[in-house]
Chain A
Amino acid sequence: MDDVERAAITRLVYRRLTDPGFRDRLTAKASDGTRPIVVVLPGDSLERLLADVERLGGAANVVLPVLNGVVVIAMAASANSDAIDPGVAQLTSDCTVGLFFARLRIDGDEAAYRFVMERPDHRRDAGSAEMVALTS
């Protein structure tokens, strides 16, 4: 079911790309100059999303379905947490994208976090992400 929903949203985003107004909302740009698009569902793992953003070049336009459409979150992620202001909020990344989105709505349109990941080998690693746009 998740795959069907993800495919339907991907196709919706594909169609909406024809609208320059929608394209303007996809502000995240990867290191190669392209603008990656990642479709997520509320139940997806945030840790998995952060890994995806990193593997796609460090930034991605994350599309999440909400009640009456989709929201786009421009995310940047890096394994180098030293670049992030140490005063930013620290979140555990073993939550869902839906919970993360709820936190973003509280914190406002621009937010930066330090994430703590619990890896299978018990090595704790840190990452970061910044939401730079929230549109519906």
Chain B
Amino acid sequence: MGITPPVGPGWSPPPPEECVESDSYTLFLTDADPPVERVKIRLTNGLPGMELVDFALVHETYYKRQWRTVAVADSSHDNEVHVHQYGRKTDRRIGKPDHICPIGRVADVTAGYDLAYDRVVSDWSTNRRRWHDG
């Protein structure tokens, strides 16, 4: 039986055996046919309370017949939620991660998930331009 993740500095997601991981859900950002901009969402809930303990949002753009990563927001490390920007030329992360919020307790993951919407979904066109120039 799992327990609710501890509160305080150094918080990290519980081990996989104490979690439930979601399928991948997809939001499409434009009406283009075929689709060219999408955000894939994966979430992990902790047992037994099913709080959100981890997530990843991945903005992808369809470019030259391939889905390419533009930006990734996640809560997986460094006790914070942040956004990684990617560059078109290298397909790698560019620059330092953009800090969204610290994670000191499990509720911060949900707060960070909500804030990540603004940075990845609402600001998708800005991220797309940055990716193209990067």
Contact = CB atoms under 8 A, between A and B. Distances in A.
Nearest to B40: A34
Nearest to B113: A18
A34 B113 contact: no
Interface residues of A, number: 22
B63 interface: no
A33 interface: yes
Interface string B32-76: 011100001101010000101001000000000000000000000
A38 B28 contact: yes
Interface of B: 20, 22-28, 31, 33-35, 40-41, 43, 45, 50, 52, 55, 110, 113-114, 117, 121
Contacts of B50: 19-20
Interface of A: 10-11, 14-15, 17-20, 23, 26, 29-30, 33-38, 51-52, 55-56
Nearest to A48: B31
B25 A34 contact: yes
A14 B35 contact: no
Given A15-B114, A20-B50, A51 B33 contact: yes
A55 B35 contact: yes
B22 A17 contact: yes
B25 A37 contact: yes
B28 A17 contact: no
Contacts of B41: 14, 17
Given A55-B33, A55-B35, A18 B26 contact: no
Given A17-B43, A18-B43, A20-B20, A35 B25 contact: yes
